[in-house]
Copies of this chain bind each other. A is one copy, B any other.
């Protein structure tokens, strides 16, 4: 069977985004990543930075974010929801609109696998990589920061995992929740794209 929508969840620094982009390119599919953040920002009036940040942090998981979220819940515009929940809700609508649009596409992150769980011909992919590969990659791509690469990776893994769990009640990165999971560090980025391209074509 061929797939018209491919969702790509990925560990930070695994090259999942590059794989998704190259896959969309080879297949001639639309590619959605930052475009979703931009749409959500336009729709909600929040800044893109705020939407990106909220998209990876589970609301209510720390005292600070809980208080902050509650304080900012504005009845009316956000229907009594916290900014985090409101962004999730708007983001879900946008992802479903993309799917309803009928164009073939690759969607990176943002729990699209869960949001589109009732849709047909969706291939859910997860890309992981070992720590050394990811450390090297984030330093090469985003440069050094005052925080050590291990710490940045650990923090981001935790955020994405908590966020996914909070909104979907599913384990992020558990093989059973995806159609295919690939390790980019052992298979190589090109090989990952080859496998997914073959699979998408059916």
Give A contacts to B, CB under 8 Å: 11, 126, 128, 130, 173-176, 178-183, 186-187, 191, 195, 198-199
Contact = CB atoms under 8 A, between A and B. Distances in A.
A178 B187 contact: no
The A interface, classified by DSSP as helix, strand, loop or mixed, is mixed
Give the number of times this chain occurs in the complex, counting copies.
Answer: 2
A187 B176 contact: no
A177 B187 CA distance: 13
B199 A195 contact: yes
A130 B124 CA distance: 14
Contacts of A181: 126, 175, 178, 180-181
Contact of A175 (B173, B187, B195): B173
Contacts of A178: 175, 181, 183
A176 B183 contact: yes
Most buried by B among A130, A175, A178, A180: A175
B183 A180 contact: yes
Nearest to A185: B179
Contacts of A126: 175, 181
Contacts of A173: 174-176
